[in-house]
Amino acid sequence: MYSSYREVYDMKKIKILVVDDESRMRKLVKDFLGREGYQVLEAGDGLEAMEAFYAEKDIALIILDVMMPKMDGWQTCREIRQSSKVPIIMLTARGDERDELQGFNLGVDEYISKPFSPKILVARVNALLRRSNVLDADEHVEAGGIVVDKAAHQVQVDGKDVELSYKEFELLSYFLENQGIALSREKILNNVWNYDYFGDARTIDTHVKKLRSKLGEKGEYIKTIWGMGYKFEVN
């Protein structure tokens, strides 16, 4: 029988297996998926992937490279499809139509050619998990009268629209998703700015100041933890 992947998981616990013989590629993908709150498992070839797949019963998605030693992506996909319908995204350096057709015939759900944008990969992962009913499609985050609509990229405070810049929106979303958790400036920088920013962490303080101002009284929910960073907490 096929494994069921129709359960809605807590996103913080969703496991994704990344299979690639290039450690730098695995790290890149892991960093971007980790930023989204996924738990990422790694494997350097198909044999390691199968070991991880059988050991971890709740893997929600697999990102699989084609060209690998010991057992390539095609063989790994065949093995997995004998017992599971877990979503699979195939990565390849080739842009060959025959490769894509072979992948889809084997049951691959998505096909991405290298080099690719990590942000596009994350978007594909999110979309595929929603289609598989693993992710809840509701993208509203709410706390203390603040409502963040990720899909529409809108914020409301007590029912009134608030105009935020792109980074202010990302920062507020990150705060709401981590309510009550003390967040260091380094952690905020890694998760909100990530690879887009190479500079002083004080930029966070500037954005927090602007965000507090735009949120009005609700800005008090963003509390400063001296010498460390910030914590979002509804009074």
Percent of the chain whose pLDDT exceeds 70: 87
- Summarize pLDDT for 17-45 with one digit per residue, the tens: 999 999 999 999 999 999 888 999 999 99
Q: How far apart are the first and last CA of the chain?
A: 49
pLDDT of res. 62: 96
pTM: 0.54
pLDDT confidence tier of residue 108, bands split at 50, 70 and 90 = confident
Lowest pLDDT segment from 54-58, 66-70, 129-133: 129-133
218 near 175, Cβ under 8 Å?
no
- Higher pLDDT: 1 or 83? It is 83
- Summarize pLDDT for 42-56 with one digit per residue, the tens: 999 999 999 999 998
CB neighbours of residue 10 within 10 Å: 8
Q: Distance of alpha carbon 85 from its chain centroid, rounded?
A: 21
Q: Which domains does the chain have, with CATH numbers?
A: 11-131 (3.40.50.2300), 140-232 (1.10.10.10)
Residue 225 confidence (pLDDT) above 90: yes
